[in-house]
Structure formats: structure tokens, C-alpha cells
Amino acid sequence: MIDKLNLTEEIDWITVGLYLLLVIFGWMNIFASSYNEQFTSIFNIRQNYGDQLLWILVSFIMIILLFAIDYRFYHFFTWVIYGFSILLLIAVLVFGVTVNNSKSWIRILGFNLQPAEFVKIATALAIARYLSGYNIKLWTWKSIAVMAVLIGLPVLLIGLQPDWGTALVFTCFILLMYREGMPGWILAISLFVTILFLMTLLISNISVLLVLVILALAIFGVLNRKVSHVLYAMLIMTAFYFGLRYALPLVGLKFNTYYLLLFALVGSSIVFLIYSLVRKNRIIAFILVLLFGFIGFTYTVNYVFSNVLKPHQQTRVNILLGKETDIRNVGYNLNQSKIAIGSGGFFGKGFLKGTQTKLDFVPEQSTDFIFCTVGEEWGFAGTTIAILLYVGLLIRIIFLAERQRSQFARIYGYGVASVLFFHFAVNIGMTIGIFPVIGIPLPFFSYGGSSMLAFTLLLFVLVRLDSVRKVYIR
């Protein structure tokens, strides 16, 4: 039997307090970044700060509605919420409004809303609902396929807008899955793929291929525990390489060193595969599958970088990796961002006294680059306080997730933490030059009604579930 709860006692006021501090501090910086002496009223919705204040009030009203709804609603209607969010993404592709070359917005009741921001909530709920279901065996091929669909479908639809920055956010759910028992080797491979991605962009194709081959040989030696097998493999590959190098010109074929290495690897791999079948050694086949999978991935990276990314996006990546310098065109935002943050010193220039932001040197200074205003006007001390507030909120969310009796609420809690962490880390990282500029908002700080409302709903659904943790048992 479910007892009536005193919500004022069961609500986690620490989380609410951290949320309010972030919202207030964020609004102050939006006010500072867009302040105009001609418009003195903070309620002027024609100004960013007035419009944002309106959305903050709407968010507060939505919090009240969230607590007015029965807590079981979020569990029982998960699939309806997820399905509706997917329909919204499809509607955006048909009826959406194009802003900055991205068809990501839809006009509802006179307001532009970005459905992709709300789909994060629906996806977190869907993952929690599926993984907390009855007779669900984690990390079987079936469960992996379902998870891939739940996450991949919104990623595909958002990518068609195209808004790859927002689509990239959905990769954060790997943190949730790791907490729920995802094998460590999957996380290790994911990290290696990230490193391989950077290697492909930084060094030559030959170097990447050699690194992959050396790693494959090292793993082969460790798993087989026989150094002699590694030496035999090296000799076979070497024989294939020099054989092809001298034989192919005789028949009028010429290839560069990279393709000769690749052909030698293919030829020797056939020999290794036959050997594995004869000796029934599955380790060799597994290593070969991984090796050629990673080689195929490098081809994909090169193709996407050269043929899919637009020139300005390629330049952004090259600037981040130190391969190009462009402080006047594509690299202008990042350069001005660093100047604004650095000019703040330790205590900053003071509230409403920032020059880089006041004179509009920093583009998107109230949205994606709002952290620049914090750095310039509040200095190192202010940015430290902001980061500590975010870290405190993330720690508190994890604490709330771990104390849940409901598996559904716990998994959703980790989904909330994953989304907020990704936005927080990537947004600040891109403003200081350690991550590419991909255009995602800083939670509760960046100007934007959709992001403000979506992040509020994301957080307070968890707070609502936590408020009934003592009786909410499945």
C-alpha cells in the first residue's frame, strides 16, 4: 500500500538549491552579455535576458506540474513519450524552420522550439524503461540491438537536420550503460576508437596501419603466450611485402608503400586464417576481425572528414589539432573566446564591465559561448565557482540515483548525469580550445528557451522520482 508523502519533506532541496544557483548565475551572465542601456527593463522580451527570464518562469511552472502528475506516469507512458518525441523529429524535417543552415526548429504557438533538446529526456526514459523491464538479460545481442535502435533512431533523425553537435550528445549514454553492467572491453574498445580517430587525423595512413599491426601482433603474443608465433607472423608479413614489391612491377603494376603494406597484410591474414581453422584457434580469427574492422574505421574517418564535413568544419578540427591557424575566419570564435576568458584575470573585470562581450567581439556570447562572459566579468574565481556548482550537481545526481529502490529511477538518474556531464564538459572544453566547436549549450546558462525548459524537465523528473523513493518499488 502506498502511503501519502509530504513532498516538502521528501524533495531533495540540495539539488533544487544547486539548480536555482545555476539558473540565477546563468541569467545574470545572459543579462551581462546582452545588456543595452537603451533597454533597462529586465522584462523586455525583445532582449535575450527578458526572453530567458520568461522561459525560466515557464520552467518553474513546469516543475510544479511535474510534481502534480502521478509519479507512475513517467514509467507507464515512457513509450508514448518516446514515440511522440520521434514524431516531433520527423515533423521538424517536414515543417521545421531553418536557422543557421540547420532545420532543427519547429514553430508552436508562436514560439520556436527545438525538439532535439527534449528527445534526450525521452531517450533516457526509454533506456531506463527497457533495461529495468522483466526478464531483460543485459548485454545479450538482443538487448544491444534494442539499445542501438533506441539511441540510433534519434541520432539519425537529428543528423538529417543536420545538427551533428546535438546528435553527438547521445554518445554520452555509454556512461549509463557501463554503470548498468556493460562489459569493460566494450568501453575499452570505445576509448581506443576515439584514440584511433585522432591518430587518423594527426598522422599518416602508413603510421596508423603500422601501429594497428604492431598492436595486433602484441595482443596475439600475449593471448597465445608464444613469442615464436609472433616472429613467424612477422616473417610471413615481411615475405609477402617484399614479394609483392618486386613481383608487381614485373606485371606492370605499381602501388605506393601504404597499399603494398595493406596487400601484404591481406595475404598474410589469409595464411593466418587457414592456420586458425586447422588448429581451431579462435583467437587468431578474433584478432583479424578487430584489425580489419579498425582499418575500415580509418577509411571511414578519412572519407567523412574529406567528403562529408564542410570546409569550415574541417578547419575547426584542424585548428583544434594544431594543424592549422586561422584567427580571422573559422578560428575567430575560439580565438576571441580565449581572449575574453584570459582578460578576466583572477577576479574578473566586474559585473557589466566586460569589454570583449559588450562590444560583440565574441559571437554567440549568450548561447554557446556564454562561459566567456563568466570568465571575463567574474574571472578565474567566477569560473571556478561555476564549475564547482556543476560538479556538485553531478555528484548529487549520482547520489540520488544510487539511493533509488526502483531500478527504473536509478537508470534514469544516470541518464540525467550522463547528459548534463557531456554538455558541461564539451561546452566549456570548446570555449577554451580543448574540444571542437560543435555548438551545444551550457546547461542552465546558455540563452535558449528549449534548452532551459528541456534541462529543467530532465532534472526534475529525477527529483520527482526521488521524492517517492521510499515507496516506489518495482
- Is the pLDDT at 379 greater than 80? The verdict is yes
pLDDT tens digits along 384-441: 999 999 999 999 999 999 998 888 999 999 999 999 999 999 888 888 877 777 778 8
- Residues 38-45 have a mean pLDDT of 68
The percent of residues in the chain predicted with pLDDT above 70, rounded, is 86
Q: How confident is the model at residue 207 (pLDDT cuts 50, 70, 90)?
A: confident
- Residues 369-397 have a mean pLDDT of 90
148 and 230 co-located in one domain: no
Tell me if 315 is assigned to some domain: no
Tell me if 16 is assigned to some domain: yes
- Whole-number pLDDT of residue 455: 94
Q: How many domains does the chain have?
A: 2
Tell me if 447 is assigned to some domain: yes
Tell me if 313 is assigned to some domain: no
Higher pLDDT, 169 or 279: 169
Considering only the C-alpha atoms of the chain, give the largest distance between any 2 of them, rounded to a whole number of Å: 87
Beta bridge partners of 99: 102
- Whole-number pLDDT of residue 84: 93
Q: How confident is the model at residue 271 (pLDDT cuts 50, 70, 90)?
A: confident
392 and 336 co-located in one domain: yes
34 and 159 co-located in one domain: yes
177 and 240 co-located in one domain: no
- Residues 248-260 have a mean pLDDT of 75
Separation between Cα atoms, residue 114 and residue 457, nearest integer Å: 14
Last residue of a domain, one of 308, 335, 363: 308
Last residue of a domain, one of 247, 282, 308: 308
133 and 267 co-located in one domain: no
Residue 11 contacts residue 428 (beta carbons within 8 Å): no
Q: Mean pLDDT score of the chain, rounded to an integer?
A: 82
pLDDT tens digits along 157-188: 988 887 878 888 898 898 888 888 777 777 78
Tell me if 473 is assigned to some domain: no
- Whole-number pLDDT of residue 39: 62
Higher pLDDT, 331 or 283: 283
252 and 358 co-located in one domain: no
Give this prediction's pTM.
0.80
- Is the pLDDT at 284 greater than 70? The verdict is yes
246 and 115 co-located in one domain: no
- Whole-number pLDDT of residue 3: 43
265 and 148 co-located in one domain: no
Separation between Cα atoms, residue 259 and residue 137, nearest integer Å: 44
Beta bridge partners of 108: 111
- Laid out side by side, the sheet with 97-99 consists of 97-99, 102-108, 111-113
268 and 413 co-located in one domain: no
Tell me if 356 is assigned to some domain: yes
Own/partner pairs, 208-214, CB within 8 angstroms, 24+ separation: 208/298, 209/258, 209/261, 209/262, 209/265, 209/295, 209/298, 210/261, 212/291, 212/294, 212/295, 213/237, 213/261, 213/265, 213/291
Residue range(s) defining the domain that contains residue 376: 7-182+325-467
161 and 15 co-located in one domain: yes
279 and 216 co-located in one domain: yes
Last residue of a domain, one of 243, 277, 308: 308
pLDDT tens digits along 20-29: 999 999 998 8
Separation between Cα atoms, residue 123 and residue 81, nearest integer Å: 9
175 and 197 co-located in one domain: no
Tell me if 122 is assigned to some domain: yes
- Residues 80-100 have a mean pLDDT of 87
- Is the pLDDT at 38 greater than 70? The verdict is no
Separation between Cα atoms, residue 416 and residue 463, nearest integer Å: 11
- Whole-number pLDDT of residue 283: 78
Tell me if 395 is assigned to some domain: yes
Listed in order, strand segments (DSSP E) in 62-166 are 97-99, 102-108, 111-113
